[in-house]
Amino acid sequence: MEWICTDLSQLDSISAEIIKLSKSKKIAFHASMGAGKTTLIKSICKELKVIDVVKSPTFSIVNEYISEINGKIYHFDFYRLEDKSEAYDIGVESYFDSSAYSFVEWPSLIGDLLPSDFAHIYIDVEKEKRIIKLVFND
């Protein structure tokens, strides 16, 4: 599935469709710095009725949020990892094995630690628009 986003006001409807269409509660976000990964995750969390403030976990590596309808949601940002062993140190496998939603920024930095059941969102920036693609590992 693909969406073209030209305005932030479109994100909530795109997020609702992502939730509806995703075959997985675990989504990896692929995009360049500043492309809108965290902004899209904030919008998805809003649609999932998260009651916490959603912000990038760049320094904490993982943030845990509470959703009124889905319980715990985990948001990872692996940008600062120097080695994927650091992901082991925070117990990433336990998070991924849970039934909770998990959103991962910079998934390429943990390589094969990312389970195959993750859906993938790719955000491409083209001038004044974002092209958002949802892809599944079938």
Residue 120 reports pLDDT greater than 80 = yes
Domain boundaries, the chain: 2-135
Query: Would you list the DSSP string of the chain?
Result: -EEEESSGGGHHHHHHHHHHH-S-SEEEEE--TTSSHHHHHHHHHHHTTB-SPP---TTTSEEEEEETTTEEEEEEE-TT-SSTHHHHHTTHHHHHHSSSEEEEESGGGGGGGS-TT-EEEEEEEETTEEEEEEE---
2-135 to CATH, choices 3.10.580.10, 1.10.3720.10, 3.40.50.720, 3.40.50.300: 3.40.50.300
43-63, pLDDT tens digit by residue? 999 999 999 889 888 888 999
Which pLDDT does position 138 carry in this prediction?
A: 63
What is the pTM (predicted TM-score) of this model?
A: 0.94
